[in-house]
């Protein structure tokens, strides 16, 4: 696989979940497929560690898994190809999961979902991952701190 020198490669991630698929434990299953230049480079499915209380929550966990796997692939591409930028596009069929992934903070119905499931904010229309100052490591010297650890996630007024 050869990527042109000035091209910005796109990592496409397709995620889906099966809410409460296991009849015994009621755990959901996450499935993901990662492509680069139209070629599948990674795929998998896993049983979710947390029992989701809704299909939207199960989809959010699937989006989180896809984002985690794609960030790993992106880091490899940046180091191996010396690429300055790699776009990540996450595709899901769940509008409620996408809504939860793009929201900063939590809604009344999703307060039980921990901040570990909101690590990467996504652009609401394109689904592309974007960086945000408040989501970086709070102990990094280069990161401007927008909120203290005790106020995470940010509260809406």
Average pLDDT on 22-32 reads 94
Distance CA 141, CA 65 (A): 27
Question: Which two structure tokens, joined as six digits, stand for 12?
Answer: 């496409």
Distance CA 84, CA 126 (A): 21
63: alpha, beta or left? (left if phi > 0; alpha if psi -120 to 50) = alpha
Of 1-10, 55-64, 113-122, minimum mean pLDDT range? 113-122
Entry pTM: 0.67
What fold is seen in the domain 10-151? Answer: Nucleotidyltransferase; domain 5 (3.30.420)
Counting runs of H as helices and runs of E as strands, what totals does the chain give?
Answer: 2, 4
Res. 8 pLDDT band, cuts 50 70 90: confident
Of 6-10, 37-41, 101-105, minimum mean pLDDT range? 101-105
Distance CA 147, CA 93 (A): 32
pLDDT tens-place string over residues 85-142: 899 999 999 888 888 877 755 555 565 566 555 545 555 445 455 433 333 333 334 3
* Cα–Cα nearest to 92, from 54, 60, 50, 57: 60
DSSP letters, 47-87, are E-SSPPSSHHHHHHHHHHHHHHHHHHHHHHHHHHH--S--E
């Amino acid at each position: 696989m050869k990527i042109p020198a000035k091209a910005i490669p796109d990592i496409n991630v397709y995620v889906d979940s099966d809410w409460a698929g296991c009849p015994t434990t009621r755990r959901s299953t996450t499935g993901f497929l990662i492509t680069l230049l139209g070629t599948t480079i990674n795929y998998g499915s896993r049983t979710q560690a947390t029992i989701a209380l809704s299909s939207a929550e199960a989809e959010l966990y699937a989006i989180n898994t896809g984002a985690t796997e794609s960030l790993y692939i992106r880091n490899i591409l940046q180091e191996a190809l010396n690429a300055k930028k790699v776009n990540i596009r996450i595709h899901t069929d769940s509008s409620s999961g996408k809504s939860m992934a793009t929201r900063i903070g939590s809604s009344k119905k999703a307060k039980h979902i921990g901040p570990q499931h909101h690590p990467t904010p996504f652009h609401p229309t394109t689904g592309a991952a974007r960086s945000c100052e408040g989501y970086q490591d709070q102990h990094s010297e280069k990161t401007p701190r927008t909120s203290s650890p005790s106020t995470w996630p940010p509260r809406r007024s």
